[in-house]
Amino acid sequence: MANGKWHMSNVKWRRFALSICLLPFAICHLPCRSDAISDNAGTKNGDFLKIPTDARGVALGDSVVSMAQGVDALRWNPAGLGTLEGKEAAATHVQYYQGVFMDNVGTAVPLEQGGLAANIFYLSAGTLDGRNTLGQPTGNFPYYDVVGTVGYGHKVLSRAEGADVSVGAALKMVQEKIANESFQNPAVDVGVLVTPLDKLNVAFTVRDLSSNSANFTREMIGGASYTIFNSFTGAFAVNDANDAPLRFSVSGEYRFPDYYDATVRAGYQSHDSIDNSLDSQIPALRGASIAGLTMGAGFAFRLPTFATLKLGLDYAMAPFGALGISHTITVKAKW
């Protein structure tokens, strides 16, 4: 009788997993406007907090919320730190559009039934031209943002108890500086990650909870991912932010474990309407219709003299129509 109950439960989970795989295709056919503008657009601070800080996350978009691993989980879903198996360190450089660039460095260490991580994020637009109320030049002034984050994830349930369940939280301190003005405000992320089957992950996270004075954009992201043939993982997510309409994202990641653990990735996320690019060096990426498309690749290898050290390199690009194209490179070490 017990085996019969287990069989019925397993069948239900497999049906659910099949629904997860088919749901992205259903989302793509929803009668929603991806170019809608929220009434709250432009009313929140800290828009840069939405920018991905790793190449894998850029390529997969918000749907990585249920796939985030290691130190990358600190950005997407701190509950992912509850599954950390080894030490990690990562460094990312993002060449954003219009001359803006970002750097992010982070590390993560496993603890009993969990993991701890920290990172530092820096964004700079270089110097901006200053002008007075009459429009006369007053000289250049600097503009930059810095975010320091610490997070912890903990595994609270195991498969023997029904499903692997991890929860996590992250505390970040945000500093914004423009000219002689500087502002510091805290924010908090919380998340949960559930793995009811070996190949199925379901996640939910709330990002950038802050005080009314900070007024950061609050995002609630829920998603799921499922792996088939032990090589391909499909994922989807829904993002409800309080300064934008509902966003949908889908992505896929295919691994070639026999070829330096090579991986190719692609994703798509609904977005606001923008214009075509006039000066993109890649003609195929000039159309505004493909804005929201992301893609990337990566590989990892072990050094012969350091068998326990695994190095990885990931790259991602994201076209933004008339704004340009962003390029992201992440270097990672695991041991």
| Residue-wise pLDDT tens digits, 2-35 | 444 444 445 444 444 444 444 444 444 444 444 4
Bridge partners of residue 131, in order along the sequence: 137
pLDDT of residue 93: 98
**Which pair of tokens denotes residue 104?**
């992010």
What beta strand segments (E) does the chain contain? 88-95, 101-111, 114-131, 137-157, 164-178, 181-197, 200-209, 219-228, 232-241, 247-256, 262-269, 293-303, 306-319, 325-334
pLDDT of residue 3: 47
Local structure of 158: helix, strand or coil: coil
Distance CA 117, CA 218 (A): 22
Domain count, the chain: 1
329, 311, 332, 335: which is closest to 55 by C-alpha? 329
pLDDT of residue 68: 95
Burial (0-12, 13-18, 19+ Cβ within 10 Å), 23: middle
Parent domain of 188: 2-334
Domain harbouring 100, CATH code: 2.40.160.40
Task: Please calculate the CA angle 229-234-236 and round it to the nearest 5 degrees.
Answer: 160
Please report, for residues 16, 196, 199, 232, the alpha-carbon distance to residue 10 in angstroms, rounded to integers and kept in the order given.
10, 10, 13, 21
Residue percentage of the chain with pLDDT more than 70: 80
pLDDT of residue 182: 85
pTM: 0.82
* Residue spans of the chain under pLDDT 50: 1-9, 11-37, 275-278
Distance CA 178, CA 241 (A): 25
pLDDT tens per residue across span 275-313 = 444 455 555 555 555 668 899 999 999 988 888 999 999
